[in-house]
Amino acid sequence: MTPHNEASKGDYASTVLLPGDPQRAEWMAQTFLEAPRCVNRRRGALGFTGLFRGKPVSIQSTGIGVPSFLVYVHELLDFYGAKTLIRTGTCGGLTAEMALRSLVIAQSVRGENAESGQIFGLYRADADPDPVLLAQALARASELGIDHRAGRTICSDIFYHPQGRERFAEAQAQGALAVDMETSALYRIAADFGARALSILTVVDNVATGEQTDYSERQGLFADMTRLALDLAAES
């Protein structure tokens, strides 16, 4: 066990999907995995392990934002031996072309500013997804007919920002597709541990248009993202 996780060594598979919301983790496990079992309930951060196409796969919720995310992912990498991490999260679209419910595959990521996502300088400032996972995700999403785009995303530590939408003007001008709160941390810590990582995000609101999905749609809103992530997990 760790201070934040009651699972024993061996309870997690080497490939772990990382939703933020514990309810989404539970829905994903119960909907898509064979024989899922709950391996962690501590602090409500639900974790599950089961089989997908006969291969062990785990799903661990991580909470909101970089600090919470890094606690769970660090322990997965350092204590539980995870080797492949696939974020299955939500994001806000930054262009009018990013349709609600479509997917963003984070081909590159940067912090919203020089300090954003920096945890005492411990992890590399810039890192990229695993190129094989990225190529597989793009190919498989096209095969499945999933509405998706790949490109740059940005990572923000602040959800309710006093500047509102205006703070994204620079990122929008530079062609960023979406904003979330965890992807930069995922790519940095994975690079630090020599693990493979990819972030797949579902657009739940759009900064440019003001549109947003209704929470009542969840969790079915995430079916395409989950299928794609599990397809990658089965090939890992």
Is the predicted pLDDT of residue 26 greater than 90, yes or no? Answer: yes
Arithmetic mean of pLDDT, 36-64: 97
CA distance 225 to 219: 11
Task: Supply 104's token pair.
Answer: 């963003």
Would you say 233 and 17 are in contact if contact means Cβ atoms under 8 Å apart? yes
Torsion of CA 203, 119, 191, 74, to 10 degrees: -90
The whole model's pTM is what?
0.93
CA dist 12 and 50 (Å) reads 9
pLDDT band at 180 (very low <50, low <70, confident <90, very high): very high
Buried b (16+ CB within 10 A) or exposed e, 107-131: bbbbbbeeebbbeeeebeeebebbe
* Statement: residue 47 has pLDDT above 70: yes
pLDDT of 123 reads: 46
By the 10 Å C-beta count (0-12 exposed, 13-18 middle, 19+ buried), 210 is classed as exposed
Average pLDDT, the chain: 90
Does residue 41 register a pLDDT over 90? yes
Tokens (6 digits) for 148: 């998706």
Q: Is the pLDDT of residue 122 over 50?
A: no
Rounded-to-integer distance, Cα 190 and Cα 134, Å: 14
At 87-113, the pLDDT tens digits run: 999 999 999 999 999 999 999 988 755
What pLDDT does residue 51 have? 98
pLDDT score at 168:
85
pLDDT at 225: 97
Rounded mean pLDDT, 2-31: 95
Mean pLDDT of all residues in 124-130: 74
**Residues assigned a catalytic role:** 205
Is the separation of the CB atoms in 14 and 84 below 8 Å?
Answer: yes
Residues 6 or more apart whose Cβ sits within 8 Å of residue 166:
none
Distances (CA, A) of 144 to 85, 137, 138, 147, 228: 21, 10, 10, 9, 8
Question: How much is the pLDDT for 213?
Answer: 93
Confidence category of residue 120, pLDDT binned at 50, 70, 90: very low
Position 117 pLDDT exceeds 90: no
Interval 130-165: pLDDT, tens: 999 999 999 999 999 999 999 999 988 878 877 777
The CA–CA distances, whole Å, from 24 to 27, 41, 144, 162, 211 equal 5, 14, 22, 29, 22
